[in-house]
Each structure stands twice: as C-alpha cells, then as structure tokens.
Structure 1
Amino acid sequence: MIVYSEVSAFTQTPGQGNRAGVVLDAAALSEAEMRELAAFVGAPETVFVTRMGGGRVRVRYFTPTQEVEFCGHATLALGLMLAQAGHWHGETLELETLAGRVPLRLVSEAGVPSQIWMRQQRPQTRPLPLSLRAELAEALGIDSRTIHRGLPLAAASTGLWSAFVPLLDPLILDALEPDFAHVEALCGALEVGSVYAYAPMGVNRFAARDFAPGLGIPEDPVTGSAGGALMALLAQEGRLPVRAGRACGVIYQGHALGTPGEVEVEVEMLGNSVVAVHVGGCAALEREGTWTRQPEPGR
C-alpha cells in the first residue's frame, strides 16, 4: 500500500488553487508505477520523493500522462507535507529535480507552516516571432488585435518552457475558448510545454491562464513554474518596478475554472539582469489516500 496526499496549492482553501498529488515514500516505486499512480490520482501533477536525507530531497514529477522536469505547485504542496509530517522544521532544504536543484524556504506563524517559497532555476528566454500573433490568437479563440503590443510575447522557462501571450484585458482572458489541438501543435512547433496567456491588472499584478494539452493538462489551474518565468521575463524587459534590487508581483489564476489561487513572485535584479526568481504561496491538505501496488508479472 502506498500512501499519497492530495494538496491544494497557492491557496489556503482546500479545493481551490491547483491540486497536486504528493508521495513522500516512493523509493521502491518503478517509473511505470509512478506513471500509474499519477494517473490514478488524476491531479495535474504528482510529485514523488525517491530519496531524502542530509538536507536534500530527490523528487520526480508526473502529469497523468508523462514525466515533466519541474512543477511549481507540486513543489509547494510537497513543502507543506514535509513540514506537516515532521521531516522539515524550517532548516535549509534543497530539492534535486530533473531541472536542477531547487532550494525551499519555510515561513511559519506560531509554529504552523503558512507559506512555502522556492528558488527556481535561472530564467531562460527567447523571443517569439511577431508573425505568430495571428496563429496564437486563432489557437486561443480571439482576434489578434486583442494581443497586447506593449508587453513581451516570448518563450521563457525557470524549469519548464512556456510561450507567454500578453492580452489587453482580463475580460478577454476570461473569454478565451482555445482550440486544444491547435494549442498542442503550436507547443510542439515552439518546443514549449504550454501556452500561457496573461493580462495586466495593475503595475505588478496579472491575471493568467495556462494551456498544456500536450502534457495531458488541457488547462492548468494555477502554475508556479510559469508564474516565476513570467515575472522574470517582465522584470528583464523593464515592465516591473524595481526597488532595492527586487521586483515583486502577484499572479491571479484559476478563476476561469472556479479554483482561484495566487502566486507570489520576487525577482532579484542586478542592473537589468535577473539574478534569482523566488515563487511562494500557501497550501492546504485536501485528503489522503492509499494505492495498492500490483504484483509484477512472474512474481
């Protein structure tokens, strides 16, 4: 019997934000079993701990259909479960992921975990040709004139690549009717995991929706990895105010699915260069369950 948890990430309310599966003891599971368990849990991503000790935790992430290098909301969920299970009391902790090492920081209030922060990978960015506006708009079900000309249209990653498409207004964002087959084809052509549409709500506040049908996630409710990459991209392009070497912002996501969540981001800057990206938020345990391993053939 394998014990797993279902955790709501980037929210304090169970059932809101983005659901993640967490398996704290996956050392004995094969890759095939991790895939099977992730499909059974059915969350956008499930994180598996394959080794723990010495201030480091080795993890793997799976969607219901495949393995991915990194997942922000599942990392947040894992941090909560490690703290609640007594494996983490706020000391230095570093995750070993396929995307690289991810340090975690725990914030507690009166001894109760309240927020988990992760330092994501150094951002990578590449421009997207402006000629793609029409095709991206068609894939999202909108007119190309509703794409914002003053915000960056680009691909970026702090662990998982996304194509970032700026829109003029959050109302346009809410009304998106994506053609998922077209979105998946674009993701393949652009070598990204998702198409992430965003719209400004203020100087450093944005609404967003993230579509990743090629990863088995038609729409991801709240996306920590893409949230960090977006804020790094905006800071690098001079679209966020910088004070004392830091640019801070909040992304609101999940409202279109009825599961709102908030992603907080701090970007460390040195001149015009991004030095580090920190993504944080709350998490809440939804439920716990068990999964029975099936005997391997021949045993």
Structure 2
Amino acid sequence: MIAYSEVSAFTETPGQGNQAGVVLDAASLSDAEMQALAAFVGAPETVFVTRRGGGLVRVRYFTPTQEVDFCGHATVALGLMLAQAGWWGAEAVTLETLAGRVPLRLVCEAGVPKQIWMQQRGPQFRALGREWRSHLAEALGIDERMIHRGLPLGAASTGLWSVFVPLLDGIILDGLEPDLAAVERLSAELEVGSVYAYAPMGVNRFAARDFAPLLGIPEDPVTGSSAGALMALLAAQGRLPVKHNRAVGVIYQGHAVGTPGEIEVEIEVQDGQVTAVHVGGCAALDREGYWQGE
C-alpha cells in the first residue's frame, strides 16, 4: 500500500484553498501507477517524490488525467508535508521538476511551519495579437468591452503557460460563465495550460479565476504557478510599484468555487527586468490515507 496525504494549499483552513495530493515515497511507482493514484485522490494535482538526498527532492506532478511540468499549490502542500515528516529542517531544499529546479524556503513561527516559499523559474512571455481579445471574451462569456485596457493581456509562464485576461472589476470576474469547450480549444491553439482571468482590487492586489479544461481541471481553485507568472507579467510591463528593486503583491482566488485562498508573490527587478519570482503561502493537512493499487 502507498501512503498519501490530502493537503489544502494557500490557506490555513483545511478544506479551503486548493487541494493537492502528496505522496512522499513514490520511488517504486510506475508512470501508470502515479497517474492512477492521482485519479484516485481526485485533487487538481498530486505531487510524487521519486527520489531525495543531499537537499535535492525529485518530484513529478499529475492531474487526474495527465502529467504536468509544474504545479505551485502542490509544491506548497509538499513543503508542509516535508517539514512535518522531519525531512526539512534548517538545511535548504531544492525540488527537481520537469520545469527545472525550484528552491524552497520554510518560514516557521514558534517552531511550527507557517509558510512555504518557492522560487519559480525565470518568467517567459508571449504577446498576443488583437484578434485573440474577442475570442477570449467570447469563450469567457463576456463582452469584449469588459476586458481591462490598462492591464496586460498576454501569455506568460514560470513553469506552466497560461493566458492572462484582465477584467474591469471583480463583479465581472465573479459572474463569469465560461464556455469550457471553447476555453479548451483556445488553450490548445495558444499552447497554454489555462485561461486565467484577473481583476484589480488595488495597486498590487488582484482577484483571479483560472480555467484549465485542457488539463482536466474545469476551474482550478488557487493557482500558484499562474500567480507567479501574472505578477511577473505585471512587473515586466511596469504595472506594479517597485521599491528597492522589489515588487510585492497578493492574489485572492477560489472564492467563486467556495474554497478561498491567498497567494503572496515577491518579484525581484533589476533595470526594468524581472530577475526572480517568489511565491509563498500557507498549507493545512486535510487527511491521510492508503492506496492499494489497481
């Protein structure tokens, strides 16, 4: 039997935020078994530790239907479980993922793990032609005039590509009723994992919803990888205040599906260029179980 944990990421409340499966000992599992276990857990993503040693932890991420290169909320969930298992103390931990190496930082309060921070890979950006604006609006079920003209619409990645669509306000965001078949088709055409709609709540605070039917996830509750990519995109286009070569922001996500969560992001900027992306959040253990295989 294989032990697994179900963890709520980007929240301190079990059952809120975004659920992830965590398997700390997956060295003996085949690709097919990892996929079957991810489907059994049923969380948006499950992370599997396939090898560890010398401060390096090799991991793989699976949705219920396929493997993905990286997942932010599952990384935060894994960080909590590594700390609680005694595998992570004062020494640094770096994950080896299909998207590259991801350094982790643990913040404790009174000796208790409080926050897990990850340094995501360097951001990549792709501009979109104006013709995509109307296609994305139609897929999201809104009029094109509801798209914010002062914030960037484009594709970005810090490990997993998404298209970012800015909306005028949170009311429009909350009222979205997307055509998921159209969102899936556009995601495939644009070669991205999701369509990520966001709306401003302040100069560096945003509400968001992430639709990823192409990955088998109709709506992802709270998305760490996309939060980092969004803040990097905003910083790169001068849409975040920068002080002492540093920009910070917060993403609120999950309210629309009844599991609110909060993601903190810190961006390092040098001469107008994004040099590092750090994403942090809390996590809470929901339950533990065993999988007997098929």
Is 1:69 matched up with 2:75?
no
Give CA deviations for 1:209-261 in whole Å, capped at 9, x if unaligned: 00000100000000000000000000000000000100000000000001000
Give CA deviations for 1:7-60 in whole Å, capped at 9, x if unaligned: 000000000000000000000000000000000000000000000110000000
Task: Point out 4+ residue stretches in structure 1 off by more than 4 angstroms.
Answer: none
- The 8 Å contact of residues 90 and 107 in structure 1, kept in 2 or not, is answered as no
CA distance in 1, matches of 2:287, 2:11: 15
Amino acid at match of 1:32: A
1:224-235 to structure 2, matched below 5 A, reads 224-235=224-235
How far the C-alpha of 1:129 sits from its partner, in A, is 1.0
CA distance in 1, matches of 2:259, 2:127: 31
Residue 94 of structure 2: SS of its match in structure 1?
Answer: strand
Residue 276 of structure 1: SS of its match in structure 2?
Answer: strand
Give CA deviations for 1:169-194 in whole Å, capped at 9, x if unaligned: 01000000000000000000000000
1:176-195 to structure 2, matched below 5 A, reads 176-195=176-195
| CA RMSD after TM alignment | 0.5
CA distance in 2, matches of 1:131, 1:207: 25
Is 1:237 matched up with 2:210?
no
CA distance in 2, matches of 1:241, 1:201: 14
- The 8 Å contact of residues 197 and 210 in structure 1, kept in 2 or not, is answered as yes
CA distance in 2, matches of 1:177, 1:57: 39
Give CA deviations for 1:54-95 in whole Å, capped at 9, x if unaligned: 000000000000000000000000000000010001321100
Alignment correspondent of 1:82: 82
Alignment correspondent of 1:163: 163
- The 8 Å contact of residues 163 and 195 in structure 1, kept in 2 or not, is answered as yes
Residue 148 of structure 2: SS of its match in structure 1?
Answer: coil
How far the C-alpha of 1:103 sits from its partner, in A, is 0.1
Alignment correspondent of 1:265: 265
CA distance in 2, matches of 1:130, 1:237: 17
- The 8 Å contact of residues 90 and 105 in structure 1, kept in 2 or not, is answered as no
Residue 95 of structure 2: SS of its match in structure 1?
Answer: strand
Which consecutive residues of structure 2, in runs of 5 or more, have no partner in the other structure?
none
Alignment correspondent of 2:123: 123
Give CA deviations for 1:134-178 in whole Å, capped at 9, x if unaligned: 110110011100000010000000000000000000100000000
CA distance in 2, matches of 1:292, 1:209: 35
Residue 88 of structure 2: SS of its match in structure 1?
Answer: coil
Is 1:133 matched up with 2:133?
yes
Which consecutive residues of structure 1, in runs of 5 or more, have no partner in the other structure?
295-299
How far the C-alpha of 1:293 sits from its partner, in A, is 2.3
CA distance in 1, matches of 2:9, 2:91: 21
How far the C-alpha of 1:114 sits from its partner, in A, is 0.1
CA distance in 2, matches of 1:200, 1:92: 35
Amino acid at match of 2:158: T
CA distance in 1, matches of 2:287, 2:259: 17
Residue 177 of structure 1: SS of its match in structure 2?
Answer: coil
- The 8 Å contact of residues 168 and 199 in structure 1, kept in 2 or not, is answered as yes
Alignment correspondent of 2:56: 56
- The 8 Å contact of residues 9 and 76 in structure 1, kept in 2 or not, is answered as yes
Amino acid at match of 2:178: P
Amino acid at match of 2:184: E
Alignment correspondent of 1:9: 9
How far the C-alpha of 1:106 sits from its partner, in A, is 0.2
Alignment correspondent of 1:36: 36
Percent of aligned pairs with the same amino acid: 78
Alignment correspondent of 1:297: none
Alignment correspondent of 1:208: 208
Alignment correspondent of 1:221: 221
Using the size of structure 2 for normalisation, the TM-score is: 0.99
CA distance in 1, matches of 2:129, 2:272: 23
- The 8 Å contact of residues 251 and 264 in structure 1, kept in 2 or not, is answered as yes
Amino acid at match of 1:116: I
How many residues align? The count is 294
Alignment correspondent of 1:275: 275
